[in-house]
Amino acid sequence: MATGTNIKTYFEGQWHQGDLMIMKAADHGSWLGTTVFDGARLFNGLSPDLDKHCARVNRSAKALMITPTVSTEEMVAIIREGLKSYPAESAVYIRPMYWALAGDELGIVPRPDATGFAVSLEEIPMAPPEASTTLTRTRFRRPVLEDNVVNAKAGCLYPNNARMLTEARAKGFGNALVADAMGNVAETATANVFMVKDGEVFTPIPNGTFLAGITRERHMINMKADGIKVHEGVFTFEDFHEADEVFLSGNMMKVTPVRAFDDTTYEIGANANPITRRVREMYWDWAESGG
């Protein structure tokens, strides 16, 4: 079942209305999970960093030994053509994707130049400014490169994220704050994470266990340009309990304030969490300026 509405699918050289069937039962991606995707956004007539998301899906394909077949420039043009069919006020989730069609003689290793490609567009509203979430710990951890393709935005990684979310929701929380293999904070089940202490911002340093997101990078650029000190480092769960503010960064909703981490609460609202509110404000200002 689709997440959004008003779905359009690009497949085999043309745009189609609706949620098109694109995979066959014997496709390598169907039975061995060799799928990658990326996610960009259209909102207020803007699609910020679309080229970066298209470039990353090609890198993700290579990480899974899938041969990318569409250049960044071609992909951007295809997506922009599809977005023209949506009303100007639409909020659209943009998902280019690849999957392997065939394998080697044993069926395991993807065959070079045997690649499926599609783009899915679906209307999904942006979160309202007042939206927030809560975090808890989970027993599940982020994998490392030696045992999984953490250098790609790969579909096969998401069952682990689903376990994290399911555990967090069963405990009454909205998301999970997740450890890396060493037990330090990596990210959440769905997004990168930042914390604020004494007016400075801290975020886990990319250590090969999670993707350092495109939106994460954009926030860091904006904050540094605004004079906010940003530090990448190794942080414990206790560091997050002691923080003044915590917020999530992801393409889907851009900035999400956190109001609680287990039994620790953070004040949010018009007269609180000033850095989080400033980060959101700067992102929208940057996007509306044309980047």
Domain stops at, among 95, 123, 151: 123
The pLDDT, as a whole number, for residue 291 is 61
The pLDDT, as a whole number, for residue 1 is 58
Do 117 and 146 reside in the same domain of the chain?
no
β-bridge pairing 5-11 and 115-123:
antiparallel
Measured CA to CA, the distance from residue 37 to residue 99 in angstroms comes to: 9
Do 276 and 148 reside in the same domain of the chain?
yes
Residues contacting 92, CB < 8 A, separation 6+: 4, 41, 42, 43, 83, 86, 121, 122, 123, 124
The pLDDT, as a whole number, for residue 130 is 87
Give the pair of three-digit tokens for residue 22. Answer: 């694109």
Among residues 92, 144, 136, 116, the alpha carbon closest in space to that of 246 is found at: 136
Domain stops at, among 72, 92, 123: 123
The pLDDT, as a whole number, for residue 3 is 86
Residues contacting 272, CB < 8 A, separation 6+: 266
Place of tokens 């395991």: 108
Measured CA to CA, the distance from residue 255 to residue 214 in angstroms comes to: 13
The number of beta carbons lying within 10 Å of the beta carbon of residue 162 is 11
Do 153 and 240 reside in the same domain of the chain?
yes
Domain stops at, among 74, 96, 123: 123
What would the DSSP string read from start to end of 3-63? SSEEEEEEETTEEEES------TTSHHHHH--EEE--EEEBTTB-TTHHHHHHHHHHHHHH
Share of the chain above pLDDT 70, in %: 99
Do 94 and 154 reside in the same domain of the chain?
no
Measured CA to CA, the distance from residue 119 to residue 81 in angstroms comes to: 11
The pLDDT, as a whole number, for residue 2 is 77
Residues contacting 83, CB < 8 A, separation 6+: 42, 47, 92, 94, 121
> Would you call 183 exposed, middle or buried from its count of C-beta atoms within 10 A (0-12, 13-18, 19+)?
exposed
The pLDDT, as a whole number, for residue 159 is 97
Q: Which domain holds residue 244?
A: 133-288
Please identify every stretch of the chain with a pLDDT value under 50, giving residue numbers as ranges.
Answer: none
Do 212 and 88 reside in the same domain of the chain?
no
Domain count, the chain: 2
Residue 144 Rama label (left phi>0; alpha psi -120 to 50; beta): beta
Q: Which residues make beta-bridge pairs with 247?
A: 194, 257
Do 156 and 253 reside in the same domain of the chain?
yes
CATH code, domain with 257: 3.20.10.10
Q: Which amino acid is at 242?
A: E
Do 283 and 247 reside in the same domain of the chain?
yes
Measured CA to CA, the distance from residue 196 to residue 96 in angstroms comes to: 33
